[in-house]
Every structure is written in C-alpha cells, then in structure tokens.
Amino acid sequence: MHQRIKQRGVGSTALPVVLCIGALGLSACDHGDKAKAKTPKPSQAASQTVSVAVVNVQALPRIINASGTVTPWEEVPVGAETGGLTAVSVNAEEGQVVRQGQVLVAMNDTMLRAQARQQEASVASAKATLAEAQAALNRSRELQAKGYLAASALDTATMRQQTAIAQVAAAQAAYGETVARLGQAVVRAPVSGLISRRSVTKGQIISPGTELFRIVRDGRLELDAEIPEADLLALRAGMPATVTSDQVGQTTGTIRIVTSEVNTQTRVGLARISLAPGSGFRSGMFARAQIAAGAQPAPTIPTAAILYRQNQPGVFVVDARNHVQFRRIEILARNTDRTAANGLNPGERVVVEGAGFLGEGDAVRVAGSSAHAAPPAVAVAAKR
C-alpha cells in the first residue's frame, strides 16, 4: 500500500512539469511566428527609368522602297506581210541598234518581179485597147451627128469604150498589188531601237504574219516597280528614283506613270520608272528602286523609340493612366534622329529610352523631362 502511494505521488508531480514544458514550447513557437510576420518581404519589382517623347507632325523627306522587273518601254514586234518567199539575207542580230527604215530581211523576189513585168505589159495593152475604143466612139458620134449612123451603133461604141476603161483599171490594180508585194519582200525596221529578239534565219521560207524580230523602241527600258497600295497615293509622274541591280550597279530614273489598278491578290500597284539611257540594264533583270517622294507631313517620333518584334516595327505608347501598350507602326521616312510613321496620333506619348525593358500593360510614373524632345518629352519610371 505504501509503495502504491509513492508511485502515485511521483506521477502527480511529473504532470505539472510536462504541462509547463509544453506551455513554454507553444510560447516559443508563437514568438517565432510573430518574428517571421514582422520580417519585411523583399521588393519583387525593380524600377527602370525611361523617357518618353510626344508625337508631333513634321515634314520629312520620304523615300519609298520598291522592287520589280526591268521591261522595255515599248517593244515592237516585226513580222512579214507577205509569205511563201525565202529569206536570202538577214541583216540584224540581237543586241544591235537599228534605225527606222533599215533593211532587216530581204526575201527572194524573182517571181514577183517577173509577175510585175507581165502585169505592167497588161496595163499597156489595156490602155491601147482603151485608146482604140475611145477613137471609135468619137467617130461614131460624128457620124451619128450627121445622120449617117443609127443610135444603136453609137450605144455599142460607148459600151466598148467603158469596157476598155474597166480593163485598164483592173490591169493597173493587179500591177499595183504585185508591186506592193514586191516591196513587202524587204522587211524594214518600223522604228529605231534595240533588237531584243530575232527568230528568222537565212534560207527560211517565211509565212505571212510570222514574227521575225522584236525591237525595244528607242532602246528605252523601265522598271515595273511594285508599290504597296498605301504608298501609291504619295507617288507622282516625274519623281526621281535611284535604281540598283546587283549585276549592273546603279542608275537614275524618273517615274513615267503610276498605274491606276491595284492587284486584288497582292494589294500592290505599279510605278513605271524610266531608266537613264546607256544604263547597262537588260530586259528581264530584277532591280530595286528608292523613290524620292518629297517632304510630306506625317506623325514623327524619335528614331530611338522604335523596337522590332517579330521583324515588325513598333513603339510603346503611354496612355492617360500611365500604362504602356505596344503598337505596331508603318515607317514612312527616317533619318538619324527622327522617323515618320503611320499608326500614331499627334500628341500621344511614346517611350524612348528604356523601352526594351517594358512589357505590355506595365504601369509607369512621370519622373522628369526627356532629352529627346523635339517637341519636349517626359521622363518616366516603369514598374514591373
């Protein structure tokens, strides 16, 4: 009995000790949590100081870039008007400059000359018959006036004279046709220019309408420059251009005409740029053009404000709540300091320095004045 009482005494004494230790542990944990709660969290965003500039309207010299194919200003096909004759001489080659009226091809005209002589003789015979009929008619009129010839005989003489006149006309027409064919046996250059193609050879039997040559009239070439429809309205005939080819080099040109039609598939039109004589370009070459479209008013921004995303130019625009949005633009003209572009409105603010550190929708705050002002810009700090 005494032992049991001692065991119970020990147990009852240990219980308050355990409770006390537990209470101390809870108190220590509570103090630890409060200490952690009071520890300040590190900042998650670092401010990047940037500057902005205000979009304004300025007139910058505008250069429109284009490319296309070199083509003849006017390419004249040369064909044969007569046929069935053999080419006995060909007097022009591709790349040769010819003059208007120069003989290009001569055909065998022996048969035509013989036919012309025969028909010339027929004309002479018909004229002799007409003279005889005319003399008979004159005598018949004299006799009929004296009462020695019946009226029917006079009518017969008159009809013979009219028939002889018709025969003379027919013989002359046949002779004229042969003479014309004889002239067509020689093919002459219809215009002066450069032979761009030859498709006839000596000894060839030529058929009527067969194309023999192509001549670039006056040797003039032009570039069919493809222009996006947004730039077509800025171009006018007479504007100067610089045309470049990797094979030939560089030459000058002038817009001859801007076509009124836009391709419905590609949305481009054509500006035909006349090339300077002796440029060395050839028909079919690919070339690039820089067209000086003149100084035209347009929204302008500092060139340093432009960023490229997916190979497309754009800028960060600051809205009224000082948030930024990336906006794509179309560059019209640029120099070292300023760029004219479509897609912006005068008075809007665009980020200049530090734009590369911004993201869509970032908030910014005004921090000072910009050194890029033309007009003045406003410096801001961006928060991420």
> At 152, which CATH number?
1.10.287
pLDDT, position 361:
81
With 0-12 / 13-18 / 19 or more C-beta atoms within 10 angstroms meaning exposed / middle / buried, residue 98 is buried
| Domain end call among 123, 157, 182 | 182
Claim to verify: residue 362 and residue 308 sit in the same structural domain: yes
Q: For residues 227-265, b (16+ Cβ closer than 10 Å) or e, as one string?
A: beeebbebbeeebebebebeeeeebebbbbebeeeeeee
Q: Same structural domain for residues 267 and 289?
A: yes
Q: Indicate whether 378 and 307 sit together in one domain.
A: yes
* 93 plus 213 within the same structural domain: yes
Q: Are residues 234 and 281 in the same domain?
A: yes
Task: Examine the domain organization and report whether 213 and 225 are in the same domain.
Answer: no
Instruction: Tell me the per-residue pLDDT of 301-315, one tens digit each, with 9 for 90 and over.
Output: 999 899 998 889 999
Give the end of a domain, one of 295, 320, 338. 295
* Residues 234, 254 within the same domain: yes
Reduce the DSSP state of residue 361 to 3 states and report it.
coil
Same domain for 101 and 212, yes or no, is yes
Residue 267 domain-assigned? yes
pLDDT tens digits, residue range 196-231?
A: 999 999 999 999 988 999 999 998 999 999 998 888
Is the model's pTM score more than 0.85? Answer: no
Residues 284 and 301 in one domain: no
Structure tokens at 276: 């300077």
360 and 303 share one domain: yes
Domain that holds residue 242: 65-73+220-295
Phi, psi at residue 65, to the nearest 5°? Answer: -95, 140
Boundary (domain end) residue, out of 295, 324, 345: 295
Q: Number of folded domains in the chain?
A: 4
Domain assignment present for residue 200? The answer is yes
Which CATH number covers residue 198?
Answer: 2.40.50.100
* 33 located within any domain: no
pLDDT of residue 177: 92
Name the band, by pLDDT with cuts 50, 70 and 90, for residue 360: confident
